[in-house]
Amino acid sequence: KVWVNPPPIHSILHPDHAHNTRRLGMHGSLADNEHCDDSSPDSQRKINWGWVPATITSGGHSGNDGALDATASITVRIEDEESEYHRTSLEIPGGAIEKGHVVMANYHGDEDGDDMGFDSEDEDEQAFGLDGEPLGYPDDLITLTHLHEPAVLHCLRKRFDQDKIYTNTGPILIALNPFKSCKSLYSDTIMKRYWERGEAQMLMGGSG
């Protein structure tokens, strides 16, 4: 699994309009009515968002450090129902990989629709894969195997969907506006859990 930045996708599929995309945010697309012919229902132009998930179907052997091989092209299949490129297969040159337009995705354990790890009643309970890599969407971003822009945004988005608006990145706390009341976040049970976790971390002299 990888994340792909839409600009090179658009350049490959629409070489005559390679500079007509607008980057807005995470992933998906948005209809743009500002520069289209209202007489045609199909004239709406899609605005590309930040990153789209994809599966490598050929090429892209990673090195020992988990990085993609930027010396050769890879073929990917876009898998994002929010994107105009959903189910599109295309060959991406190694140059785009070298520039960081294609990055490795983390394995969270829910790729097949099962919600694994970090969503149980006990938030301190953590699930692990066969290779020992943590599953789910961690409360500390620095534990992600691949730490980059799409990995951070994807993790924050998934946690937000689970009403988990607080996420650490090392000693920094990221707080998202839930736009609703989340009284359960401030219950005596939750406050006690964080108090005990903080005391344990101080005794161990670490931040894990």
Per-residue confidence (pLDDT) for residue 90, from 0 to 100: 94
Half-sphere exposure for 24 (CA within 13 Å, toward CB): 13
Residue type, 151: A
Q: Is the pLDDT of residue 76 over 90?
A: yes
Residue type, 207: S
What is the strand order of the sheet 89-92 is part of? 89-92, 74-78, 52-58, 2-4, 102-104
Report pTM: 0.71
The predicted-structure confidence for 96-113, as pLDDT tens digits, reads as follows 999 999 999 998 887 644
